Amino acid sequence: MKNISIIAVFALLLLSCNGQNHKKDSSKKNQSKKEQQVTAIDTAKIIQRGDSISMFTGKTLMGQLQAAMGRGGIEEAVKYCNVNAYPLTDSISNKFNVSISRVAERNRNPENSLQEQDVPVFEQYKNNEDLGSLVKTHGDDIYFYKPINLKGFCVSCHGNIENNIGEENYALIKKLYPNDKAINFSPGDLRGMWKIKFEENGKL
Ligand code: HEC
């Protein structure tokens, strides 16, 4: 009799332990589900913010570039970009509390080279023309990427030297950017990509 009751107590203990474990497991599952949901929402938010910030920056840069072209042609526009592309982008970065850059494999300004973490993303864009905005994490940082494709009017500075840019204009570009690799592009080509670093999730 004694033995049976001891076994019964053991069995009860085992059962209750299992029960508790089960509860813990399911609450863990719920928690990770919640975390996954939060991440999904943040990704969508980052895509939305990144899309609007990159569009705003692109419009601003191109607006200023076209105004400079109107004032003094390609020469004036190249000089304008050389002096102002960075300060302009930086001031927009400060406004939105992010770090905006444009990076490219065949770059004009070596400051815009691909970093190690950008290389696989650029490869993805090379291999899939339809791929749009992406969010990637690197350490604690969150990065937004978006491909930049060449438009018709970009060839006057990024196209073929003979037919699009002209020897004289290219001489000026080479003077300002001795290591220029950003020529021989055609409209529609992948020219580079937007890269926006979001410092903190809370500041979205
Ligand atoms: C008037 C000449 C000119 C035109 C037109 C022009 N660019 Fe550029 N582009 C430049 C210069 C100069 C730089 C280097 C800016 C710098 O010093 O950061 C540059 C840099 C870039 C970069 C940054 C990566 C790199 O190579 O350094 C991208 C991306 C880019 N251009 C894309 C475009 C696209 C897309 C268009 C058309 C919508 C365009 N550009 C039209 C002159 C031009």
| 119-144 per-position pLDDT tens digit | 999 999 999 999 999 999 988 889 99
Q: Which pLDDT value is given to residue 104? A: 98
- CA-CA distance, 96 to 100, in Å (whole number)? 9
The atom number, within ligand 1, closest to the CA of 181 reads: 26
For residue 157, tell me if it sits in a domain: yes
For residue 4, tell me if it sits in a domain: no
Domain ranges, residue 43: 37-109+122-203
Asked whether the predicted pLDDT for residue 1 surpasses 70, the reply is no
- CA-CA distance, 120 to 114, in Å (whole number)? 10
For residue 85, tell me if it sits in a domain: yes
For residue 24, tell me if it sits in a domain: no
pTM: 0.83
Q: Classify residue 57 as exposed, middle or buried by CB count within 10 Å of its CB (0-12, 13-18, 19+).
A: buried
pLDDT digits (tens, 9 = 90+) for 53-75: 999 999 999 999 999 999 999 99
Asked whether the predicted pLDDT for residue 47 surpasses 50, the reply is yes
For residue 82, tell me if it sits in a domain: yes
The atom number, within ligand 1, closest to the CA of 176 reads: 12
Report the range of poorest mean pLDDT among 29-33, 75-79, 149-153: 29-33
Asked whether the predicted pLDDT for residue 50 surpasses 90, the reply is yes
Distance 101 CA to ligand 1 centre (A): 12
Report the range of poorest mean pLDDT among 1-5, 18-22, 140-144, 162-166: 18-22
Q: Which pLDDT value is given to residue 139? A: 85
Asked whether the predicted pLDDT for residue 11 surpasses 50, the reply is no
Q: Which pLDDT value is given to residue 38? A: 52
Ligand 1 pocket (Cβ < 6 Å) reads 62, 65, 74, 77-78, 81-82, 85-86, 102, 104, 107-109, 112, 148, 150-151, 153-154, 156-158, 182, 191-192
Domain count, the chain: 1
The atom number, within ligand 1, closest to the CA of 77 reads: 1
The atom number, within ligand 1, closest to the CA of 149 reads: 35
- The residue nearest atom 7 of ligand 1, judged by CA position, is 157
What is the average pLDDT value for the chain, to the nearest integer?
86
Summarize the confidence of residues 180-189 as an average pLDDT. 98
pLDDT digits (tens, 9 = 90+) for 74-95: 999 999 999 999 999 999 999 9
For residue 127, tell me if it sits in a domain: yes
Closest CA to 199 of 136, 146, 142, 145: 142
For residue 21, tell me if it sits in a domain: no
For residue 97, tell me if it sits in a domain: yes
Tokens 């072209």: give the residue: 69
Distance 195 CA to ligand 1 centre (A): 15
